[in-house]
Amino acid sequence: MVSVLKLKKSAQGEDKIPLNSRLYLHIRSPLYPQLNDKAVFVDKTWTVGRSLDKITEWFKITPPMNMHQSFDANKRLSIFHAKEPEDVPKRLAMQDRLQQLPSVESGDTVYLAPADWDYSDL
């Protein structure tokens, strides 16, 4: 409970998100170390994909692209979820609404990484 209160004080997000709809999360990323230990709040009615779009917008993150290669879904930036930092992260489906994922709660850690991320290097 205390860690969630600390998270709320430092979290970035859109002020227009109602307080009762906010989901507070820790961010980590193997691709973007500047995101490590950042805190955000997103709207729990949003999809995982919209949450990812907003987080990358807020932190001015541009997913890597190579215009000379065809699109590879395994390289697409995704959100992985872990209840605790030492837990094995699981990729969340982009179309799922956060409120429909009972395992995702305020205070949890999310990772921004390619869909084929090998999390063994944590």
| Integer Cα distance of 86 and 109 in angstroms | 10
Secondary structure E strands in the chain: 22-28, 38-43, 77-82, 90-91, 109-114
Q: How confident is the model at residue 28 (pLDDT cuts 50, 70, 90)?
A: very high
CB 54 within 8 A of CB 23: no
Task: Specify the pTM.
Answer: 0.86
Q: How confident is the model at residue 51 (pLDDT cuts 50, 70, 90)?
A: very high
Helix then strand then coil, % of the chain, to nearest 5: 30, 25, 45
Q: Which residue range is the domain that position 24 belongs to?
A: 2-64+72-121
Q: What is the CATH number of the domain that holds 53?
A: 3.10.20.90
| Number of domains the chain is built from | 1
| Integer Cα distance of 10 and 23 in angstroms | 13
**Identity of residue 113:** A
**Identity of residue 13:** G
Task: State pLDDT tens for residues 59-117.
Answer: 998 766 554 455 556 678 999 998 877 788 999 999 999 999 999 999 999 999 988 88
